[in-house]
């Protein structure tokens, strides 16, 4: 392991794909002083980026993109073939969606390598930044068909909502390659960051990414299970977490109960880890249990809502505050709120929801079972029960007296333990949190 604190050395970089990972990577590397070209096959998206219009909500990213473009260190193009020839590093940040069997689909990354391979300069370093299964470095190398080009695994550890911070102030930078020189050259890209840089083999680097996300998902499922125990025995999970967190072996991070975990990474990566293990001959029963507990948590929230309705869900109106899988992002992928909404809808409930990043009428297949409103108060009007599903701070400041007057029912299911129970009860509403006595 090496820790770098040197002045940055400017490099010529291409980033293939401008999604969450690709756009953050391109903008952050430009911020570090590198000459970066972002490549995407979506011409309309590239035009928007050139105008400074970002396709995603990510704190600080718009400023970082604007800075890079203004400084001449960042530009965007659809011409990958004509661009990569003079680039020392080519980052692959394309999607690796999950198949029906839990395995990652590598077709996008294979196509990118196959298409760009003949046009790379000698000694180019191709960097896998996408989350890929163990062995993908060899797959990319095979598709490139270039003995004079090196492949490096450099997994991302970016959290949506704080991706810029995570890139520029990382806990670690992991680089895996069988080519030591290529790994060291890649490490130089991050030389100005005050962070440990770990150089290892490709298989270890790829496993680190999956193992990290699987462990975080395990902590979340564990604390949700503990919350269920707390409710059964009359304990308060908030105090339990505080007491556990003082133990430095455990820590406080990712011990916050909620309606279940979701997003673009955890569901995909945990199932992929189970599949990777199975393909290698190991039955990862522990991680299967983590996934099962998470599915049970969705049912537990639905059961809380059913009890709050004090009758059948069929014909009831349920208000949801929050639809994105977490606050400070507009990402709806594998959102716990939408998982709960779908289960409520199948039970015959009418689901009305408000989220500060989701406009009424937004075209998205995942919103088919939800009526989206323009305000938090509009969502609760006539509702039999209110469920807080995403931890947006603005929900803390909604006038609970107005909420009580607008609702037909009187129960608040706080799926994020966001609200103050005393304030909720003072407004004449019943409070039911996760693991709270």
Catalytic residue numbers read: 265
CA 124/CA 146 separation, integer angstroms: 10
3-state secondary structure of 201: coil
Indicate the helix (H) or strand (E) that contains 49.
helix 43-50
User: How many alpha carbons fall within 13 Å on the CB side of residue 388?
Assistant: 28
| Cα dihedral value 65, 68, 72, 77, nearest 10 | -40
Among residues 189, 163, 164, the alpha carbon closest in space to that of 175 is found at 189
User: Are 87 and 9 spatial neighbours (Cβ–Cβ below 8 Å)?
Assistant: no
3-state secondary structure of 369: coil
The two tokens of residue 5 are 């604190």
User: Are 25 and 129 spatial neighbours (Cβ–Cβ below 8 Å)?
Assistant: yes
CA 248/CA 254 separation, integer angstroms: 14
3-state secondary structure of 58: coil
User: Are 209 and 155 spatial neighbours (Cβ–Cβ below 8 Å)?
Assistant: yes
Q: What is the DSSP letter of 88?
A: S
The Cβ of residue 222 has, within 10 Å, a number of other Cβ atoms equal to 16
| Residue 134 Rama label (left phi>0; alpha psi -120 to 50; beta) | beta
User: How many alpha carbons fall within 13 Å on the CB side of residue 253?
Assistant: 5
């Amino acid at each position: 392991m090496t820790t770098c604190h040197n002045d940055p050395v400017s490099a010529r970089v291409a980033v293939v794909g401008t999604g969450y990972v690709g756009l953050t990577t391109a903008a952050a590397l430009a911020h570090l002083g590198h000459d970066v070209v972002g490549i995407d096959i979506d011409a309309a998206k590239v035009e928007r980026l050139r105008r400074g219009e970002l396709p995603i909500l990510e704190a600080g990213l718009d400023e970082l993109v604007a800075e890079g473009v203004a400084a001449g260190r960042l530009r965007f193009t659809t011409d990958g073939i004509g661009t990569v020839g003079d680039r020392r590093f080519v980052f692959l940040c394309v999607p690796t969606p999950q198949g029906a069997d839990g395995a990652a689909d590598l077709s996008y990354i294979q196509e990118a390598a196959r298409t760009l391979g003949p046009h790379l300069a000698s000694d180019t370093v191709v960097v896998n930044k996408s989350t890929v299964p163990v062995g993908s470095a060899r797959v990319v190398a095979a598709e490139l068909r270039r003995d004079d080009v090196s492949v490096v695994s450099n997994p991302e550890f970016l959290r949506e909502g704080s991706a810029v911070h995570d890139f520029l102030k990382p806990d670690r930078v992991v680089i895996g390659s069988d080519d030591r020189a290529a790994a060291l050259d890649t490490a130089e890209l991050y030389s100005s960051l005050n962070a440990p840089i770990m150089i290892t083999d490709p298989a270890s680097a790829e496993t680190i990414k999956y193992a990290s996300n699987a462990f975080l998902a395990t902590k979340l499922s564990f604390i949700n299970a503990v919350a269920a125990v707390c409710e059964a025995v009359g304990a308060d999970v908030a105090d339990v977490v505080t007491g556990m967190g003082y133990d430095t072996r455990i820590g406080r991070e990712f011990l916050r109960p909620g309606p279940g975990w979701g997003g673009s990474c955890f569901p995909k990566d945990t199932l992929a880890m189970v599949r990777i293990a199975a393909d290698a001959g190991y039955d990862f029963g522990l991680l299967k249990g983590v996934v099962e507990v998470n599915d049970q948590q969705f049912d537990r929230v639905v059961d809380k809502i059913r009890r709050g309705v004090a009758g059948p869900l069929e014909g009831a109106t349920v208000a949801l505050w929050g639809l994105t899988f977490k606050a400070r992002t507009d990402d709806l992928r594998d959102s716990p709120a939408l998982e709960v909404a779908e289960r409520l809808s199948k039970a015959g409930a009418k689901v009305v929801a408000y989220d500060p990043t989701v406009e009424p009428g937004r075209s998205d297949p995942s919103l088919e079972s939800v009526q989206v409103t323009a305000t938090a108060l509009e969502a609760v009007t006539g509702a039999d029960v209110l469920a807080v599903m995403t931890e947006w701070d603005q929900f803390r400041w909604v006038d609970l007296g107005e909420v009580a007057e607008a609702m037909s029912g009187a129960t608040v299911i706080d799926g994020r333990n966001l609200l103050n129970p005393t304030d909720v009860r003072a407004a004449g509403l019943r409070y039911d949190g996760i693991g709270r006595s």
